Amino acid sequence: MAVIHNTSLKPTKLELLTAWLPGRPWYQGDPQAPQLAKAGGFRIDDPQGEVGIECMVVTDRSGDVPRSYFLPLTYRGAPLDDAEQALVGTTEHGVLGRRWIYDGSQDPVLSAQLLALLQGHAEPQDQDASDVRDESVTCHVGDDSGFGSSSMVGMVAVANGPHGTDLTVETTTEQGAEPDDRSEPARTAVTLHIARVLEPLAGAEVAGRAAGAPGHLASVTGVWQSDDGTEQRGLFVAVRTSGR
């Protein structure tokens, strides 16, 4: 269980994101003067207790219209090997000391736990309180055979587009054979789509997503506060078999 410390960060997460976000291909605001505010999000626990995982929503008011972005981040006590391109920045935590903050889309710990969340094997946690489930986050696992019991082997590719990030990961699924069956587990590549630029779902769409997004093996929806203070719900993450 992750422990949320009520302490300071210098620089703050929003300060680091203000410098980092304009360089992303899906950023749609003013790259010279982002105006970021926290708008929501949730956390996922790392079973090993080593990496902090936060899926943050921020709203940027610098463009023609406010835009909300979904930003999965990881917090580490030491640099992640071969991940300089994914580094958002470093900060001094009032309790834990120096922390390295990464774009979680390129951190294998986040990919594994995001997959577990999509499968229903991990629970979304409150962004600001320890050991409190975030009931606003809805996860749906479809009926596709094998996905719910698959395990991540490794990351294959990360691709950023104008609206989101696609993570292709390799998974294995046990075949349920007899104990003396030495056949190899089946391997499948699946794509986790992270919807970076958030779009609110209408009432009928929300109901449809709760029943499973068409063409997806699993999906996660969540809420955030829009610029006018109203609560919005939208698709955060969806997973599909690669090649669909």
Q: Helix H segments across the chain? A: 13-20, 108-119, 203-210
CA 173 to chain centre: 23
Q: Give pTM, 2 decimals.
A: 0.87
pLDDT given at position 29 = 95
pLDDT given at position 170 = 86
In angstroms, how far is the first alpha carbon of the chain from the final one?
36
Nearest residue to 4 (alpha-carbon basis) of 94, 131, 89, 97:
131
Name the token pair of 168: 């292709």
Nearest residue to 50 (alpha-carbon basis) of 70, 80, 25:
80
Going from the first residue of the chain to its last (244 residues), give the mean pLDDT of each consecutive group of 10, the final group possibly shorter: 68 96 96 96 94 96 94 96 94 84 94 89 90 92 67 82 91 61 71 94 56 68 90 92 58
Residue extents of the structural domains in the chain: 9-241
For CA atoms 124, 55, 139, 158, give the dihedral sign.
negative
pLDDT given at position 217 = 81
Rounded to whole angstroms, how far apart are CA atoms 38 and 57?
Answer: 6
CB neighbourhood size of 89 (10 A): 15
